[in-house]
Amino acid sequence: MGQDAQNLEKLARAELADLVACRTPLLIGVRHHSPALAAAIPELLADFNPDVILIELPMEFEPWLQWLGHSETKAPVALASVNKAGGGLSFYPFAEFSPEFAAVKWAVAHSVPIRPCDLPSGVRVDLAREPHEHSDQPTISAALETHFHSPDFESLWDRAVEVHAADADAEALRRSALYIGWALRQDAEGVVPEVDLIREAHMRKVLAECPGKRVAMVIGSFHAPAIAKPPDSSPDLSAAAHEMVTSFIPYSFELLDSRSNYPAGIRDPMWQQRVLEAHRAKAKLDDTVADVIVQICREIRRVGHIAGVPDADAASRMAMDLAALRDLPGPGRQEVVEAIQSALARGEIGGRGRILANAMDTVMVGRERGKIPAAAPKSGLSAHVQNLFSELGLPGPSTRSEAPTTLRLEPMRNTRDRDRHIALKRLASCAIPYAKEGQVQGLGNAEAVSTSWEIQWQPGTDAMLELAGIWGVTLEQATRGAIQRRESQLKLDESLTPSERLRVLTECADCGLVDMVQERLDALETEFVNEADLTALLGLMRFFERIHGGHFPALNSDSTLVLPPRAPFLAAALRAIEGLIGSENASDAADLMEIVLLVRAQREEETLGLGRLFYTLKTFRTEASPLIQGAATLALRVCDELEPERFVEETGAWIDAGVDQSARQTMSGRIKGLLVAGSGMFESDASDLRGISTRIHTIEDEAFLERLPALREGFDVLTYGARDQLLESLQDAFPKALDPRGARGFEFEENAAFIALLKTADHRAFTRAQEIFEAPRQAEFTDVQTPEETLGATSNSLDPLTRWKLILGRQKDRQQNAGSVARALDQLYGQGQGEGSGRGIGQGGGQEDAYPSMREWTEDIEALFGTKVREEVMARAIELGHATVAFELENAPVEPSIELLEGLLSLKGSLSESQIAHLRPLIRSVVQALVKKLANRIMPALTGISTPRPTRRKGGPIDFKRTIGANLDRARRDEDGVARIVPDKIYFKTRAKRSLDWHISIVVDVSGSMEPSVIYSALMASILQGLPSVSLSFIAFNTQVIDLSHLVDDPLSLLLEVEVGGGTHIAKALKYARERVKVPNRTILALVTDFEEGWSADGMVREARVLAESGVHLLGLAALDDSGKPRYNNALASLMVAAGMPVAALTPMELAEWVGDVMRGKK
């Protein structure tokens, strides 16, 4: 023992002897949770046989002590108090290993009076606890920590008290606990907080109320010296107490763990419970330690990791050895934790380390829940909510009704409505079935200032209130607990994605939890900004706008929230939009424009440069997918980076370029992007569509009809109501172009007969003029034609207004040809969607006939638009889910394409097995044609992969070098001196397997955004698996992983087996692939995904790093198609690159070249 410890022993001996010997009262100094003392309490009390027991608990809880000690009470439970006026929450959880709980149980069982003795919590509300000032001078507790090799007080208590319980009697444990409390008290001499001095004075006052009785006091060991040796003066105890509401509620080990952010907890409650059970059985902890370690190994195995008998044995022996090295009678919690981490984590902080942490949480924290007696008075959250509802005038349990009540609130204008709104939001956050919020539409694009709710007290409301009461005794506290618990669970499940972080942040703001909002705002600049995709970043920007605009009713206008600077998030958004280059999703076009407007608006405030933005937009304008090209073009125009005339010229050229199927698809996509990005812009002012409208007005009918389905497809992105507004805007912008009668022409009804009459009058006037002036006849006129004959007689018989009506699907033209065209297109596109789609085409009492069959429709499409356009329209119909169109393709010649195959495969979910079987020959022919075409393209890049071996067997090209060398003895020169060989041994080249074959693993994301890449992956797999000395795995995944390697030689069966859709769990798929790697440096793993991980990025990055470090040749494919233009999460892809997985978007040819280079050793 060191000199400091010896001096401590001499100094302590006398005072400690008096403290331990004190019997007026018997002092049992405890820590709030202590298995050793909880096991010793019954023996100590039985030996002393007290007349009354005092415990350290606020006076308000005295009525609950009999219920706390009730035989039906099952720990963990908690007592709580809250100021009736709000605030001042106090929380006292109890477990079986809590000494106070053991004392209450003993007292109730033996009919011994038991009272609280601590200061009322109503008084403590106004007493602030000053922070303890730490001295630089040597302290007794520091000497003890050095002696016991303890880094902190918790460890010191374990080493000095807990680990000795197995071989020490109850009195020795009491003495050790008092010793620790005395040491802490000596260190705090002169700096004890005032609130503690007042509490101790109150304890002495309650003790004085028990004269002549044998009193046992169960109090904190820190306070025991102040009871045994009172100070010379006592503080004033005359402070008035607030009226408090108390509760007795069930609790759980999850909340009792000190890492749950709930007060008065202890680490690893289930471990503490197991230790208590061992102490009660008077057994050593060896068996408990072994059992806990075995359970942890079982949990590790349950999730697919290795942890067997040797691992458990190593951890158990290490815990015992650590205890022996530290001169302890047995291992404590610290020794067990250190042993488990050392023996089972295997040096991995992530990966296995996380799995181990989850297993330890399950086994050592536990999931035990308490229970209070059925006869106990109602209290806690249920009572609080009923009182709150009474104050707010909300229906409670006494006003049950058969139907819900509709409640409309204006929380931004009315204080009572604001309080109601907050209460309903908090109930929803606690998953208590009472209120359902409805949708309220604001004016224009503005956010609604009112909210609508359907409220009803249901049988499930009572049940969920009792269950949610575990999180707290007030609605605010329960809401905090529920949100924190969900957030913790998301972390444990590695599901706390940026989107989930934003959802939690918004939920905290909706519930008025200002401090929780601030904590999460402060954490945004770390993991969130590094992992967030564009959607999450835009959501955060909208959240900031709502905060600035005061649109969170639950947040007071005087709240002191400090928002982080926007620049880092805008910079992250600029990086994120680079991943939109290949997007075909209309929402991405809208997001792109929103980011552009945000960056422009923040130019001065945030000093964020625009150079990168403009560079990206200019790149998109020429190299992105058609949809993003259209959006980028408009964005450049809005930013004044594209001159108005240049914009008009460029958009008009889109129409000019639509001369074939591919160009028309591009035109349609560009128009979609333009309209989505312009959201409402063109409906109010169509002048910027001058380039497009001019081409539509002037091109020949034949060229217009060729482009019409693609134009209808492009403008179909607008709602029906928006198309109606756009047509009116076009009429205002180009009145003369759209009607030869001028702007006033729109006042007249469109009448084909009237137009024919004008033409007839014109003919007669011209004839009469010729007769009068005897002018030469310029043309031969036939008889007057009917209106139907007139339409189509000239090259531009479809006037501009009719053309726009056909494009926008606004209404059918009464002219025959135009009506047929409109009818044919309406069969495919219908009325559109959104505002106004419930009226117009095909509605009500219209006179148009429906198509009797799909065959008639396809024949009309061919007659109206031509064969090529027919194929485009039919392919689009299949994409939109018109299954019957596919059956019309069976006997018709079709051009195989990825788009057609994608459409056919999309029908799987809507067709029966017999229908799929009927279509299988068609799909097989398309697949075979595509495989053959693709193989012809990529096989040159894969030649020469395997080593040639000479052989006498015929079957390959002649090996001239070997053949000539073997036949040199048969060389002869002919008459002209030329050397010739007549061989008798001819050698051929063949493919020979290397000593180690290559394995290619294609891991394919089959979530909804990846269908084209899924098809290309299946086709590539069928080609690569035919290579010599190559084996191949095909692993499909969304949130589940399916190994389809047995189907790679039949791409049709493989594609029919794949179900495209669902979420994305990349880490799970990589783990599955990693576990099947046999020879890492001879394995190629191609991950085909958009990197939109649905779980935390940590797991995905961790798996990639492990694969890279093992030597596997990795490649992340953000897209695998002929365009090589991906739509992917740029932030997460960057993390994967940093982990060792290169990321690219490749065509099949480029992938084949990369695979060939890897196998040849060039990469």
Residues 129-169 have pLDDT tens digits of 554 555 555 676 677 767 666 677 777 888 888 888 878 88
> How large is the average pLDDT for residues 1006-1013?
75
Strand residue runs (E) in 242-385: 244-250
Is 886 inside any structural domain?
Answer: no
d(CA 601, CA 591): 15
> How large is the average pLDDT for residues 557-562?
73
The single residue listed with the structure tokens 């331990």 is 20
Q: Is 591 helix (H, G, I), strand (E, B) or coil?
A: helix
Residue 243 has pLDDT above 60, yes or no: yes
Cβ pair 717, 629 in contact under 8 A: no
Give me the pLDDT at residue 735, please: 63
Cβ pair 481, 471 in contact under 8 A: yes
Residue 510 has pLDDT above 80, yes or no: yes
Cβ pair 978, 1010 in contact under 8 A: no
Cite the DSSP H helix spans in 393-510: 415-429, 459-468, 475-492, 498-510
Spatial neighbors of 629 by CB under 8 A, at least 6 apart, are 620, 621, 622, 669, 670, 673
Residue 1008 has pLDDT above 70, yes or no: no
Give me the pLDDT at residue 1124, please: 73
Verify that 137 and 206 share a domain, yes or no. Answer: yes
Higher-scoring residue by pLDDT: 902, 474: 474
d(CA 1114, CA 1108): 7
Verify that 318 and 438 share a domain, yes or no. Answer: no
Give me the pLDDT at residue 686, please: 77
Give me the pLDDT at residue 745, please: 40
Give me the pLDDT at residue 207, please: 92
At which of 565, 587, 609 does a domain end?
Answer: 587
Residue-wise pLDDT tens digits, 904-932: 666 555 555 666 665 667 777 777 777 77
Verify that 405 and 467 share a domain, yes or no. Answer: yes
Q: Which of 24-33, 493-502, 797-806 has the lowest mean pLDDT?
A: 797-806
Q: Which residues of 266-275 are buried (b: 16+ CB within 10 A; e: fewer)?
A: bbbbbbbbbb
Q: Which of 351-360, 416-425, 869-878 has the lowest mean pLDDT?
A: 869-878
Bridge-based pairing state of the strands 1143-1146 and 1113-1120: parallel
d(CA 628, CA 625): 5
Cβ pair 316, 339 in contact under 8 A: yes
Q: Predicted confidence band at 975 (pLDDT cuts at 50, 70, 90)?
A: confident
Verify that 342 and 421 share a domain, yes or no. Answer: no
Residue 714 phi, psi (nearest 5):
-65, -45
Task: Report which secondary-structure segment, H or E, holds 996.
Answer: none
Residue 775 has pLDDT above 50, yes or no: no
Select from 890, 887, 824 the least CA-distant residue to 856. 824
Q: Residues 462, 468, 474, 476: is their CA dihedral positive or negative?
A: negative
Give me the pLDDT at residue 1047, please: 83
Verify that 158 and 101 share a domain, yes or no. Answer: yes
At which of 235, 260, 292 does a domain end?
Answer: 235
> How large is the average pLDDT for residues 388-410?
83
3-state helix, strand, coil in the chain (%, to 5): 55, 10, 35
Verify that 1000 and 987 share a domain, yes or no. Answer: no
Residue 411 DSSP class: T
Is 741 inside any structural domain?
Answer: no
Q: Which of 37-46, 505-514, 763-772, 922-931 has the lowest mean pLDDT?
A: 763-772
d(CA 1153, CA 90): 68
Is 1071 inside any structural domain?
Answer: yes
Verify that 168 and 214 share a domain, yes or no. Answer: yes
Spatial neighbors of 982 by CB under 8 A, at least 6 apart, are 967, 970, 972
d(CA 456, CA 440): 19
Give me the pLDDT at residue 1153, please: 83
CA distances from 197 to 134, 200, 816, 869 (A): 18, 5, 98, 91
Verify that 521 and 565 share a domain, yes or no. Answer: yes
Domains held by the chain: number: 5
Structure tokens at 956: 């390959």
Q: Which of 82-86, 324-328, 340-344, 1024-1028 has the lowest mean pLDDT?
A: 82-86
d(CA 562, CA 564): 7
Bridge-based pairing state of the strands 215-220 and 26-30: parallel
Spatial neighbors of 413 by CB under 8 A, at least 6 apart, are 449
Bridge-based pairing state of the strands 244-250 and 215-220: unpaired
Verify that 1100 and 1043 share a domain, yes or no. Answer: yes
Is 709 inside any structural domain?
Answer: no
CA distances from 970 to 128, 961, 962, 966, 981 (A): 110, 15, 14, 9, 6
Give me the pLDDT at residue 305, please: 81
Cβ pair 1070, 1103 in contact under 8 A: yes
Is 759 inside any structural domain?
Answer: no
Verify that 196 and 316 share a domain, yes or no. Answer: no
Residue-wise pLDDT tens digits, 1040-1091: 888 888 888 888 777 777 776 778 889 989 999 998 888 888 898 999 988 8
Share of the chain above pLDDT 90, in %: 18
Spatial neighbors of 894 by CB under 8 A, at least 6 apart, are 871, 900, 922, 926
Cβ pair 88, 121 in contact under 8 A: yes
Mean of the per-residue pLDDT values of the chain: 79
Verify that 977 and 1012 share a domain, yes or no. Answer: no
Print the domain residue range for 403. Answer: 381-587
Is 312 inside any structural domain?
Answer: yes
Give me the pLDDT at residue 443, please: 60
Higher-scoring residue by pLDDT: 372, 900: 372
Residue-wise pLDDT tens digits, 330-358: 888 889 999 999 998 877 766 678 788 88
CA distances from 1086 to 508, 682, 1060, 1105, 1137 (A): 41, 44, 19, 14, 13
Residue-wise pLDDT tens digits, 1090-1119: 888 888 888 888 889 989 988 999 999 888
Q: Which of 392-401, 707-716, 855-864 has the lowest mean pLDDT?
A: 855-864
The single residue listed with the structure tokens 């495919």 is 828
Spatial neighbors of 68 by CB under 8 A, at least 6 apart, are 77, 79, 94, 101, 104, 108, 248
**Cβ burial, residue 1067 (10 Å; 0-12/13-18/19+):** buried
Order of strands, edge to edge, in the sheet holding 215-220?
26-30, 215-220, 52-58, 114-118
Q: Predicted confidence band at 888 (pLDDT cuts at 50, 70, 90)?
A: low
Residue 270 has pLDDT above 90, yes or no: yes
Q: Is 865 helix (H, G, I), strand (E, B) or coil?
A: helix
Cβ pair 1151, 1002 in contact under 8 A: no
Give me the pLDDT at residue 779, please: 40
Structure tokens at 1046: 């047995």
Is 926 inside any structural domain?
Answer: no
Give me the pLDDT at residue 787, please: 34
Bridge-based pairing state of the strands 971-973 and 405-409: unpaired
What residues are paired with 92 via a beta bridge?
79
Residue-wise pLDDT tens digits, 944-965: 555 555 555 565 678 788 888 8
> How large is the average pLDDT for residues 520-535?
87
Is 658 inside any structural domain?
Answer: no
Q: Predicted confidence band at 81 (pLDDT cuts at 50, 70, 90)?
A: confident
Q: Which of 13-27, 510-524, 601-615, 877-891 has the lowest mean pLDDT?
A: 877-891
Q: Predicted confidence band at 994 (pLDDT cuts at 50, 70, 90)?
A: very low
Share of the chain above pLDDT 70, in %: 76
Q: Residues 119, 124, 127, 132: is their CA dihedral positive or negative?
A: positive
Strand residue runs (E) in 187-335: 215-220, 244-250
Residue-wise pLDDT tens digits, 447-491: 677 888 898 888 778 778 877 887 888 899 889 988 988 998 888
Give me the pLDDT at residue 133, please: 52
At which of 306, 336, 365 does a domain end?
Answer: 365
d(CA 123, CA 303): 51
Verify that 81 and 58 share a domain, yes or no. Answer: yes
